[in-house]
Amino acid sequence: MSLNLNASSHSTLPSAYIDAVNDARFVRTFGIIALLGSILIFIGGAVAIGVGLAVLGFGSGRYYRVLGLAVIILGILGFLLGPFRIIASIVLGAGVVWKGQEVLKTLAREGKDDSDWQATRGRALTGMVLSVLGILISLGWLGLLLLAFLAGGYQG
């Protein structure tokens, strides 16, 4: 179960729908973080580690543990070799897009009568679009690093 659950207002709704409402909040929030992280190249490994810890703290499921640990490990590797910070941003963005797709699948099946349905769908779509933009920007950074490496100008 994710954070930000207000069980009293959704007590008659299926738990999968309630999880989707909360996961959509995650998708939107971390979609913004994925985009900013890609623009700023996560500034340093410490920021990537902090984002990974935030993902771990957001939910208790396997998804949150795997994604959070992946970003943390890539952040640690980013101290050794800079491109791992960019890869951490790509991994975060891909994880957010995947969770957004899961939210949209759940919303296609359940909760259409709930007042939060449209807002939840909007949160999921917003987070997914921002994450895709972040992934594209990160891929652009990786391309530039590859060009610099091939030209002999990348110092690590």
131: pLDDT confidence band, cut at 50, 70 and 90?
very high
Q: What domain range is 22 assigned to?
A: 14-108+116-151
Confidence at residue 111, expressed as pLDDT on a 0 to 100 scale: 85
Torsion-angle region of 111 (φ positive above 0: left; ψ -120 to 50: alpha; else: beta):
left
Least confident residue range of 8-12, 14-18, 148-152:
8-12
Q: Are 103 and 27 in contact (CB under 8 A)?
A: yes
Question: Per residue in 74-107, pLDDT tens?
Answer: 999 988 888 898 999 999 999 999 999 999 999 9
For residue 138, being part of any structural domain is answered with yes
Cα(37)–Cα(58) distance, integer angstroms? 18
For residue 9, being part of any structural domain is answered with no
Classify residue 110 by burial, with Cβ atoms within 10 Å: 0-12, 13-18, 19+: middle
Q: Which two tokens stand for residue 108?
A: 């296609």
- The mean per-residue pLDDT over the stretch 45-50 comes to 86
For residue 27, being part of any structural domain is answered with yes
For residue 100, being part of any structural domain is answered with yes
22: pLDDT confidence band, cut at 50, 70 and 90?
very high
- The mean per-residue pLDDT over the stretch 134-150 comes to 91
For residue 93, being part of any structural domain is answered with yes
**Closest by Cα among 93, 117, 102, 82 to 32:** 93
The pTM (predicted TM-score) of the whole model is: 0.85
Question: Per residue in 5-14, pLDDT tens?
Answer: 444 454 567 7
For residue 156, being part of any structural domain is answered with no
For residue 49, being part of any structural domain is answered with yes
Residue 56: strand, helix, or coil: helix
* CA separation, residue 55 to residues 2, 84, 114 (Å): 11, 18, 27
For residue 123, being part of any structural domain is answered with yes
**DSSP labels, 19-39:** HHHHHHHHHHHHHHHHHHHHH
Domain count for the chain: 1
